[in-house]
Structure 1
Amino acid sequence: MRSPPGNGCGKTMTEATGAPFLQISGLRKAYGNLEALRGVDLELRRGEFLCLFGPNGAGKSTLLKIIATLLRPDSGRIRVLDNDLQENPEAYRARLGMVSHQPFVYQDLSLLENLEFYAALYGVKQPRKRALKLLQQVKLIQRCDMPAGDLSRGMQQRLSIARALVNDPELLLLDEPYTGLDEHAARIFGEQLRMLHDNRRTIIMVTHNLRRGMESATRLGILARGRLAYLQEKDQVDPASFEALYFQHLEAS
C-alpha cells in the first residue's frame, strides 16, 4: 500500500507565516489507568479546517472536550492567540463555539427563544436581533416560533450551528455532527460548514464520515491510541492512500 504523501506531520506552524491561532502542547488525560491522551501537540493557523479521524476510544472526543473547557487535562497547555486556557479561561471561552451530535437546545422553547437565551447568556447586545440573523443564516427563520422539539434531526443540527454562533466564535468545534443525519440533511449541513469556513473561522471536526470530512477540511489528521498519528495538508494527501491508512488504524485498535 502506498502511504499518503509527506512524512505524516504536515507543515509546522513555524514554517507558516504569522503566529499560530491555536496552540496545544503536551496534552495528557487519563481515566484511572486508561490513558485517553498521551501527549498531543497541535498548532493551527487562523481559518484552517482540521478534520480528525480515528478509531473509537482514540481520544478524539476527549480532546475536543478539553479544548472546549468541558474537561480538565491532567497536563499540557492550550492557547488561542494570547488567551491561555489555564490563565484566562473566561476570555478563552468567549472565542469558542461547539456543535455535537446532541443539539444542546431546550426542546420546549421555540427556536427564537433558544437563541435569545444563549445570546443573553453570552452578554450579546440586542440578543433578539442576533437570534433572528442566525435563524436566517441557517435557513430556519420561517420556523422561528416552532418548539425546537418539533424539528427534524437535520434541522436540529442547523439550530445547533446557530446556537454555537451566538457569541460569534473564532474557533468552532464539531464532535460527530453528521451522526443520525440522512443524506439530504448531511448535504445541507455540509453547505453550512463551507459557509462558516468561508468566513475564516478556524474549525476542528471529529467524524467517522471520511467522505464528508475530506470534502470539507483543509487539513486531515488521525488520532490513534491517544496520540496524533498523522497530520497533513489535504492538498498533499492521496485520498485512497489516506483511507487505507485510516482503516489500518481501525483494524489495529
Structure 2
Amino acid sequence: MDRPPAIDVRKVTKAFGHQVALRGVDLQVAEGEFLTLFGPNGAGKTTLIRIIASLARPSSGEVRLRGQDLGRAAIALRRDLGLISHNPLLYGDLTAEENLRFFARMYNLPQAGERIQAVLEQVGLLARRRDPVRGFSRGMVQRLSIARAILHDPAIMLLDEPYTGLDLQAADMLRAVLQDLAASNRTVILTTHNLEQGLEMCDRAAILHRGRLAWQGARDGVDLVAMKNIYRDVTAPG
C-alpha cells in the first residue's frame, strides 16, 4: 500500500474579508522530499505555511499531514512540525536556555538538557545560553529560532523566508542546518523569492502566484537560468 504524502493540501482557499490570499491550492509533498516554494511578495506563501503549521484555518479545502486531517488532529500533529518564520516565537525576558526548556516541556522531550545543549551548540549560541534574548542581535534571535524549530527533531520542517534579515554567519549556519535536513530524510517546505538559494538543495520547486499554484517541476534539469526564465514567464503581469 502506498504511503500517504507527508503534506497533502487539497483545494485550499483563504480569504481575509474581500481579500483572497489562496485560490484552490492543491499541493502534495512526499515523505523525505525537499520542496522550495517560490513566489513574489503577496503571492500567498506565508498564508499557506501558516495553514500547514495549523496557525490559521483555511476558508475551504483541507490539509492532511502524514495521512491525518490537520483540522481534527492539529494539537497531536504539531509534534511532527518545526517552523521557522518571520516571528521567532521566543520570549525576550527569558534566557536562550529558558526559552528552549519551555518548548522542551511542551513537547515532553526526554533528556531535554542534553538536547538543548546540542542544538545551542549547533547554532553557535552555547556560550550565550544564560543571556536574556532581549539583548540578542537579530541574527542571534534567528539562530535561536532555528534551535527552537529543530529542538524536538520534527519530521516536517516549514521555513518561511528563513534567510530574511540573517547576517552572513547566521546564513551559513542555516545553510548547514538545511543540508542536515536534506540528508536526514526530513520533509521540508522552504519559501523564498531568492531563486539561487531556493534551488540549492530542493528536490522539487513550485511557484505560487496570486494565490494559485502556477508551476511545479522536478529540480533535475532546471538550472538557475532556466528557473529565472520560468519564474519571469509565470509571474509576468497580465
Q: TM-score, normalised by structure 1?
A: 0.87
* 2:196 maps to 1:211: yes
The alpha-carbon deviation at position 183 of structure 1 amounts to 3.4
> Match of 2:178?
193
Q: Does 1:22 align with 2:7?
A: yes
Alignment check: 8 A CA contact 2:21 2:210 kept: yes
Any idea what SS the aligned residue of 1:87 has? helix
Instruction: State which drifts further: 152-161 or 207-216.
Output: 152-161
Which of 144, 164, 186 matches 2:149? Answer: 164
CA distance in 2, matches of 1:243, 1:21: 28
Identity %: 46
- Among 13, 37, 45, which residue is 1:52 paired with? 37
Unpaired runs of 5+ in structure 1? Answer: 1-16
Question: Are positions 1:101 and 2:72 aligned together?
Answer: no
| SS at structure 2 position matched to 1:62 | helix
Q: What amino acid maps onto 1:243 in structure 2?
A: K
Alpha carbons 1:132, 1:141 under 8 Å: kept: yes
Q: Indicate conservation of the 8 Å contact 1:29/1:36, yes or no.
A: yes
**Preserved contact between residue 54 and residue 249 of structure 1 (Cα < 8 Å):** no
Partner amino acid, structure 1, of 2:217: Q
- Aligned residue-pair number: 238
| One-letter amino acid matched to 1:199 | S
Q: Tell me which residue corresponds to 2:136.
A: 151
2 CA distance for matches of 1:164 and 1:182? 19
Relative to the length of structure 2, the TM-score reads: 0.92
Checking the alignment, whether the CA contact within 8 Å between 1:28 and 1:39 is kept in structure 2 is: yes
Please, which moves more after superposition, 120-129 or 85-94? 120-129
Aligned to 1:244: 229
> What's the CA shift for 1:67?
0.4
| Closer, same or farther: CA 183–134 of 1 in aligned 2, 3 Å | closer
Structure 1 residue 192: deviation in Å? 1.5
CA distance in 2, matches of 1:29, 1:70: 13
Question: What residue in structure 1 maps to residue 50 of structure 2?
Answer: 65
Matches of 1:233 and 1:202, distance apart in 2: 15
Q: How far does residue 160 in structure 1 lie from its aligned partner after superposition?
A: 0.7
Secondary structure of the corresponding residue to residue 88 of structure 1: helix
Structure 2 partner of 1:9:
none
Deviation of residue 69 (structure 1)?
Answer: 0.8
Q: Which residue number in structure 1 is paired with residue 97 of structure 2? A: 112
User: How far does residue 251 in structure 1 lie from its aligned partner after superposition?
Assistant: 4.0
Contact 2:4 2:67 in 1 (8 A): no
1:162: how far off? 1.1
Deviations 1:3-30 (A, max 9, x none): xxxxxxxxxxxxxx74322211111111
Corresponding letter in the other structure for 2:119: L
User: Which deviates further from its counterpart, 140-149 or 31-40?
Assistant: 140-149
